[in-house]
Structure 1
Amino acid sequence: MERPAMPPAKIIESVAAVFCYQGEIFALRRQPYLQAFPGYESFPGGKIDRDDPDLPHPSPLLREWDGKRMHALVREVREELGYDLPAGIASGQVKAVHYLAKALAPPVVAARFFLHVFRIDLETRPVFSADPGEIADCFWKTPRQLLDSFERGDALMVPPLRWVLQALERDPQGVAFGDLSPRFDEDRFVISFEQLSDVRILPVPSNTFPPVKRTNAFLLGDPGAPRILVDPSPESPQVLEKLLRTLEPETLSALFLTHHHHDHHEHVPQLARRLGVPVWMSDDTRERILKKYGSDYFTEVRLEIRREGDELTRWKGETVRVFEIPGHDAGQLALAPESLRWFLVGDLIQGAGTVVIAAPEGDMAAYFGTLERIIALDPAVILPSHGAPMRGTHRLRETLRHRREREEAIHRLFVSGKTKAEILDTVYQGVDQQLLPFALLNIESHLVKLRREGRI
């Protein structure tokens, strides 16, 4: 049976400003440590606040549009760029303001942003003072230059931003592009999209660790190179059929498993047989799956072992290689191109929350070592199995820092005579009761590491 339908995700209204001057537009790159869209290319803007007045804005060029949106737009431009939009209108620097487009995020995210995009035409180019707390970089470029950056694989972008840029490239004077919301038929297909060029993400409904409800499957491979699907794990036969319909236009070469946990390979044998392709994985992953699910689990499926350094496919002409990343699971594998412009890390980290490091496959010391190794490699983008792509290693570094601090707290409490249950009550205060058994597993893994190091 399929999981009962989840309550609809909260819709958050937001605004964005597209400043246009002599064929160029103003865009920015968000800071990589932000919770939402870390390190993504973007336009200035943000969500509409409850306190934004629901009244027509008094400024000319703004009063004809929805008041709450206009007050939010003025506030966001002031906060992010230090620019007074009404003053720019009054001085004649701003020639026109148009409602350019709208877009509603797909129903696969916890918070669905409903974006209202406004075009702001300029007589002269303003001097902006970008807020360094939110903005890592900013630039005036043509739509084609921004799209080229994405298409080279050098930029993270949400699809609606690309669609606005594409529309402006086709019609530089366009002022009304309408509804750019993606159209998905979730009754028949699995949603798919690209936030990094030529890395297609399919957030497949899966029987995964709560509160997450999906596991990202990744579709990779240049034309002429092996086309591989990473970690497909449909939660039910019905979702398996949706996934197969979604994959009909593709000619796959193989399925690739990052590790042995069920939310990364459920229904993979059926999928492999239907597609007529082999399954690639580590030797450790194969052994653990066969031990847990039986020696006939992969009947009539060709299994092929992959190891550190193996070449799997190509991306943007670069060889994509295998990396061994033990810790969460002893046999976990990662993928990255030669340039390290992205690193597909499986369950090394998650978009929200922390991963479980549990025996027998989990090892806290190995987990620390893997985090340290990838941080040192400094890949440009991290692709987790649960959650959205993120720029930089900030989340890896924060995860390592958090784990070290938690380990020190566990060490202090243990040597003071506290039991594991008492440590749990102290260290994991406020954690959802359903997650406490998993938190206890993490405590036990920290204690094993401390014993090996002779600290307890």
Structure 2
Amino acid sequence: MTDLVAGQLTELAPSVHRLIAPNPGVMTGPGTNSYLFGRADIAVLDPGPNDPVHVQALLEAAQKIGGKITRIIVTHTHPDHSPAAAALQAQTGAELIGSVIAQDGFQDDSFRPDTTPQHDALIAVEGGPLRAIYSPGHVGNHFCYLHEPTGLLFTGDHVMQGSTVVIIPPAGDMKDYIDSLRRMLAYPLKFIAPGHGGLIPEPAKELEYLVAHRLKREAKVVEKLAGFDSATLEELVVPVYDDVDPSLHPVAQLSLWAHLIKLKKDGRVGESDGRWSLLI
């Protein structure tokens, strides 16, 4: 973890570098990872928050590598991943690539892409292409990107090191999230390069663990809900997330909501006036 330092340019593979934004926190870990591809024509993936210090650090990193930023790609438009794109484009004229969705209170309205990626399409970057993999779940406009020459899968907030991802309905969807994790198992992966934290080895093992973890939590939701005639999110979050620091329960409650919505779609729970009950 000693290399996870904000502002420190780290080479992960030939023509692939990481630069961490200075926005550490409970939800962001050491900070948002921005990735740079290429040496002359440089593509930036997830430029991060609109922090002038980080924007300048990205410009200086490109200069240090020996090139110019010509493309800016985002995994999704949450405020710790995409807002720096506009400032970076203003200074470089780079093409913006990413997907947008309706504002749900968590989206970056400043992000206006020139190009919207398509699932399984290849995006040309110096040193080899990035394959766009549509990965809804954390949010509906999320894409992961597979760097085909290295087998590095850049997962944004779909997979993070050291913590599970928060799913925030309605833009976030638990069923989509689990399906997206399973879809990635079909690709030739060597490492996961998350939006927060360091490289994760044995990607298939990690993806399978995350699916199992979510399904185990889902089973716990059903088990604890069976102890109530009906329950609100506030009542249910305590027994379902009794293994989580209570200070994080307001955040965990969002993922609990996502689990319940999935179970409702599956016909296993019902909801009336904010109270949830087990049907079968």
TM-score normalised by length of structure 2: 0.83
Decide whether aligned partners of structure 1 residues 390 and 365 sit closer, same or farther in structure 2, where only a CA change above 3 A counts.
same
Partner of 1:358: 168
* 1:326 corresponds to: 136
What secondary structure is seen at the aligned counterpart in 1 of 2:115? strand
State the number of aligned residues. Answer: 264
Deviation at 1:339, TM superposition (A): 6.2
2:260 alignment counterpart:
447
Inter-partner Cα distance in structure 1 for 2:262 and 2:23: 31
Question: 1:315 and 1:414, CA in 2 relative to 1: closer, same or farther beyond 3 A?
Answer: farther
Is 2:35 the partner of 1:253? no
Kept after mapping to 2: 8 A contact 1:314/1:337: no
Structure 1 residues 377 and 395, CA gap change in structure 2 (3 angstroms): same
- Residue 391 of structure 1 aligns to a residue whose secondary structure is coil
1:251: Cα distance to partner? 1.2
2:90 aligned with 1:239, yes or no?
Answer: no
1:228 aligns with 43
8 A contact 1:217–1:231 mirrored in 2:
yes
Q: Is the 8 A contact 1:260 1:288 kept in 2?
A: no
The within-5 A match list for 1:278-317 is 278-284=95-101, 287-288=102-103, 292=107, 294=109, 297=110, 303-314=114-125, 316=127
Q: Amino acid of the residue matched to residue 123 of structure 2? A: L
Contact 2:78 2:106 in 1 (8 A): no
Which residue is equivalent to 1:197?
14
For the 8 Å contact 1:325–1:332, the answer to whether it is kept is yes
Name the amino acid aligned to 1:441: L
Which has the higher Rg, Structure 1 or Structure 2?
A: 1
Q: Is the 2:76–2:100 contact (alpha carbons within 8 Å) kept by the matching residues of 1?
A: no
Contact 1:221 1:315 in 2 (8 A): yes
Tell me whether 1:405 sits opposite 2:220 in the alignment: no
Change (3 A) 1:208 1:233: farther
Report the secondary structure of 1:357's partner residue: coil
Shift in Å at residue 207 of structure 1? 6.6
After superposition, the C-alpha distances for 1:149-169 in whole angstroms (9 at most, x for unaligned) are xxxxxxxxxxxxxxxxxxxxx
Distance (Å, rounded) in 1 between the aligned partners of 2:265 and 2:240: 22
Is 1:206 matched up with 2:23? yes
Residue 431 (structure 1) aligned to one of 240, 244, 247:
244
In the alignment, is the contact (CA less than 8 A) between 1:202 and 1:216 conserved in 2? Answer: yes
Deviations 1:251-291 (A, max 9, x none): 1221101001110012321111011112110243xx54999
Classify 1:291/1:356 alpha carbon distance in 2 versus 1 (closer, same or farther; 3 Å). closer
Which amino acid in 2 is paired with 1:400? V
| Distance 1:216-1:440 versus aligned 2 partners, 3 A rule | same
CA contact (8 A) 1:260 1:289 kept: no
Equivalent position of 1:383 in the other structure: 193
* Unpaired runs of at least 5, structure 2: 270-280
Equivalent position of 1:149 in the other structure: none
Give the direction of change, closer, same or farther, for the CA distance of 1:450–1:221 in structure 2 (3 Å limit).
Answer: same
Work out the CA distance in 1 between the residues paired with 2:106 and 2:28.
27
Offset, 1:331: 0.8
Aligned counterpart, 2:94: 277
**Quick one: structure 1 residues 384 and 374, their matched pair in 2 at CA, closer, same or farther if it must change by over 3 Å?**
same
Q: How does 1:334-349 map to 2 (within 5 A)?
A: 334-338=144-148, 341-349=151-159
Counterpart of 2:61, as a letter, is T
The alignment partner of 1:264 has SS state of coil
Contact 1:336 1:343 in 2 (8 A): yes
Question: Do 1:413 and 1:423's aligned partners in 2 also have CA atoms closer than 8 Å?
Answer: yes
Shift of 1:397: 1.4
CA offsets per residue over residues 69-113 of structure 1, 9 Å max, x none?
Answer: xxxxxxxxxxxxxxxxxxxxxxxxxxxxxxxxxxxx4462xxxxx
Structure 1 residues 228 and 314, CA gap change in structure 2 (3 angstroms): closer
Equivalent position SS for 1:202: strand
- Structure 1: tracts of 5 or more residues without a match: 1-35, 37-104, 109-185
Cα distance in 1 for partners of 2:181, 2:60 equals: 37
Say which SS state the counterpart of residue 359 (structure 1) adopts: coil
- Greater strand percent: which structure? 1
Separation of aligned partners in 2, 1:340 and 1:293? 30
Q: Kindly, what percent of the aligned residue pairs are identical?
A: 25
1:204–1:365 CA distance, 2 compared to 1 (3 A): same
Matched residues in 2 for 1:325 and 1:208: separation?
24
Distance in 2 (CA, whole Å) between partners of 1:293 and 1:222 is 29
Deviations 1:409-456 (A, max 9, x none): 101222332623343212222423332111001111000000101112
Where do residues 131-150 of structure 1 align in structure 2 (5 Å cutoff)? Answer: none
Amino acid at match of 2:165: V
Alignment-derived partner of residue 373 in structure 1: 183
Moved more, 362-371 or 202-211: 202-211
**Alignment-mate amino acid for residue 211 of structure 2:** L
